Structure 1
């Protein structure tokens, strides 16, 4: 997992320390986590027993957008992700900043949602602590791991990925045993119960389910710390999505088969309800511990990605250069890490689990639409870009190219899911709007500071 770092104490760079297998585990670990452990019940509340349908729809959308990311990371294997792609495609600093800020805030709101989930029914199996206090302490611990170093952070991620995956395997095993023994009610998996139009209910539930599949896009921000990004990223992205998608469909079916919709919808620890009614005996406290570690993994990865994004923005000159400072000893972007955790601790105090999760989805859907359009725009200068793209020593693989219909359909579906057609609450749009408005203010302040510096 580690390579010899080039030491330059005057201008330290990020260390290319991540190999193919670890990258795959990182993608899987980034996807698995708080979403499936905490929001399965909320999806059931939207659509009824057929909760596998929204998860399947969300998987299709994620795959379409992953194809766009796989193509772009092959051309530009650098940190900054969607912001970098928007800059290359549109060459409008303001658009680039808004995309970068939306991604940044989506990562932090996702970590905030995970922090909130940490203080729910799973933690209540052990101790009753005020949610906000637990969330703040939780974020501080995550930050400490992030500061130590990328190799150490990824190693922690690998361990937590294995643990959180084991919890979902337990749920799958419970489902298999239930089917063999004839327990539960499999027919519930085909029930769509809603007061409104079924397809609108499915659309709204897909928006919630999509939160559980978020994370694949975060991994592209590690391109600058990956040994062979062109060769390894497409395999890791699609492989991770397939693994996570299959697990989610099995977990969704098992949950609705064994637990009635009303109970699932009313719980912040829906998978714990599955364990409690299972014919296969498994200690509820042990499963609650696994769920807490899964939530921890979600927050850790999102805070890693948010800090790397701020670092990349600093390198690109989108935000002040101070954010691109790297600790000479740990080789981690310490200024960016401090900035992101302060924002996270503030956001955690402003919204609940569902609100922060839905805000995350809304912001990223807008980003995904931009990324899909960026692929089409950049293909106009594909030859020049391929020649000018940064080459990574030892990685001479041909960049991945997505079929044209994938980014077109990905952009359309992203905009539909971001629209009010999903039945999303107005408060979510308000929160997202305020966050973007803050970004606009920061952008104008930064431009003013730059112009003032040039005049002086």
Structure 2
């Protein structure tokens, strides 16, 4: 018996195999993706010459959110994220609302990623390409196929190479002008905040590092360090790309661009890079879309299993072992959105839902005691206030639509709770 026990692997040792560098790579894989290809133009329309200030504000809020989420993940290492944290720290309703906001926001993110594929692959038929991409990837997920760790590394490497090529081509072009970076009279506080809310979309996925609590060595030290390093690298990459594109296109030219990075290399005189950028953007968006559909369907499945959503969505396919009803439902909704909404609308709606989600995460982190690994008090305060400020500074259509959907979700919760009270 002793020899058999000694031969068996120790689960804790197998799980805790990742160091800071590994966790940073996970964070980069989650953050450096299609968001930078999609969010710059709508953010420039909102902030004008204040675009870079908006990028910095988005990064600060993202850091606070990720730090709060990391401390909560260490305390509650269960799948579900803020859906779990809210229920455990604030009550069942707030956990439910966080889960509802996540499903709503990330479903819109799926549509935005699909539209990004269309905008770069075939600008004239962006909606048709977007719908086709959603159908194809939903079919892949239905069959149990998803991105591997190797695929994540390949996508990160390709995207970084494409972004580096764009930055070098733009910064070295004769068309680049430093004067275009100056803050002008077109900048307003609301415009900068709105841009920050839209650019928050480009940092989506950063808190994935927080889910590594059971897999890293010394998580209390490793996770916060990895979050800081990954966010820092991502911010530098995004800032360099944003500076390069603004110097070539100017705030007005960037605001009017459908595919801003291809427009930038074309104006910079590096037309040969256009197909490379299109391939890089499409690859990044497809990778993000695949992971997003997977994540939204699993959260939908978890909420359905807890009967917060129709229990039919909790079905598991007997052969493929995936939540196939949830997969199909998410795919249908995303396909409809991809066929009917525009990119800016999808990004704004997505940002509103996800910002509400992280506001609840910060409120949950505030309730942690020092013995439970509470973050510095300023972190959840800035994160909570920043999330709400950016959420309600988004375009009125995103705020109105997002608030209406969240209110509808709260109404469903209230009706369901009353029904259960009367029919135990």
Assess if the C-alpha contact under 8 Å between 2:34 and 2:202 holds in 1.
yes
Please say if 1:177 is aligned against 2:172.
yes
- Residue in 2 that maps onto 1:106: 105
Assess if the C-alpha contact under 8 Å between 2:115 and 2:130 holds in 1.
yes
- Residue in 2 that maps onto 1:189: 181
Assess if the C-alpha contact under 8 Å between 2:147 and 2:291 holds in 1.
no
- Residue in 1 that maps onto 2:236: 246
Seen in structure 2, the aligned counterparts of structure 1 residues 405 and 352 have a Cα distance that, compared at 3 Å, is same
Give runs of ≥4 in structure 1 deviating > 6 Å.
Answer: 15-18
Please say if 1:403 is aligned against 2:376.
yes
Seen in structure 2, the aligned counterparts of structure 1 residues 152 and 253 have a Cα distance that, compared at 3 Å, is closer
Assess if the C-alpha contact under 8 Å between 1:78 and 1:223 holds in 2.
no
Please state how far the C-alpha of 1:80 moved relative to its aligned partner.
0.7
Please state how far the C-alpha of 1:55 moved relative to its aligned partner.
0.8
- Residue in 2 that maps onto 1:141: 136
Assess if the C-alpha contact under 8 Å between 1:73 and 1:230 holds in 2.
no
Assess if the C-alpha contact under 8 Å between 1:192 and 1:198 holds in 2.
no
Assess if the C-alpha contact under 8 Å between 1:79 and 1:312 holds in 2.
no
SS at match of 2:49: coil
Assess if the C-alpha contact under 8 Å between 2:49 and 2:184 holds in 1.
yes
Counterpart mapping for 1:353-392 below 5 A = 353-379=343-369, 383=371
SS at match of 2:172: helix
Assess if the C-alpha contact under 8 Å between 1:66 and 1:238 holds in 2.
no
Assess if the C-alpha contact under 8 Å between 2:304 and 2:310 holds in 1.
yes
- Residue in 1 that maps onto 2:38: 38
Seen in structure 2, the aligned counterparts of structure 1 residues 17 and 166 have a Cα distance that, compared at 3 Å, is farther
Please state how far the C-alpha of 1:99 moved relative to its aligned partner.
1.3
Counterpart mapping for 1:108-127 below 5 A = 108-120=107-119, 122-124=120-122
- Residue in 2 that maps onto 1:60: 60
Structure 2: state its 5+ residue gaps: 1-7
Seen in structure 2, the aligned counterparts of structure 1 residues 219 and 331 have a Cα distance that, compared at 3 Å, is farther
Aligned residues: 412
Please say if 1:440 is aligned against 2:410.
yes
User: Deviation per CA, 1:28-60, whole angstroms, max 9, x where unpaired?
Assistant: 233223321122122222222342221111111
Seen in structure 2, the aligned counterparts of structure 1 residues 152 and 29 have a Cα distance that, compared at 3 Å, is closer
Assess if the C-alpha contact under 8 Å between 1:24 and 1:240 holds in 2.
yes
Counterpart mapping for 1:148-227 below 5 A = 148-149=143-144, 152-178=147-173, 184-194=176-186, 198-217=188-207, 220=210
- Residue in 2 that maps onto 1:12: none
- Specify which of 322, 329, 338 is matched with residue 348 of structure 1: 338
Q: Please state which structure has a larger fraction of its residues in helix.
A: 2
Q: 2:184, 2:149 → 1: CA distance?
A: 40
User: Deviation per CA, 1:78-136, whole angstroms, max 9, x where unpaired?
Assistant: 11101111101112x2222111100111111011111122222x2237xx43x333222
Seen in structure 2, the aligned counterparts of structure 1 residues 403 and 328 have a Cα distance that, compared at 3 Å, is farther
| Greater CA drift, 106-115 or 149-158 | 149-158
Q: 1:27, 1:340 → 2: CA distance?
A: 25
- Specify which of 378, 390, 411 is matched with residue 417 of structure 1: 390
Structure 1: state its 5+ residue gaps: 6-14, 387-398
Seen in structure 2, the aligned counterparts of structure 1 residues 225 and 324 have a Cα distance that, compared at 3 Å, is farther
SS at match of 1:48: helix
| Greater CA drift, 335-344 or 443-452 | 443-452
Please say if 1:296 is aligned against 2:280.
no
Q: 1:328, 1:224 → 2: CA distance?
A: 31
| Greater CA drift, 22-31 or 286-295 | 22-31
Q: 1:257, 1:430 → 2: CA distance?
A: 34
TM-score (normalised: structure 2): 0.85
Seen in structure 2, the aligned counterparts of structure 1 residues 251 and 286 have a Cα distance that, compared at 3 Å, is same
SS at match of 1:192: coil
| Greater CA drift, 103-112 or 300-309 | 300-309
Please state how far the C-alpha of 1:235 moved relative to its aligned partner.
4.4
TM-score (normalised: structure 1): 0.79
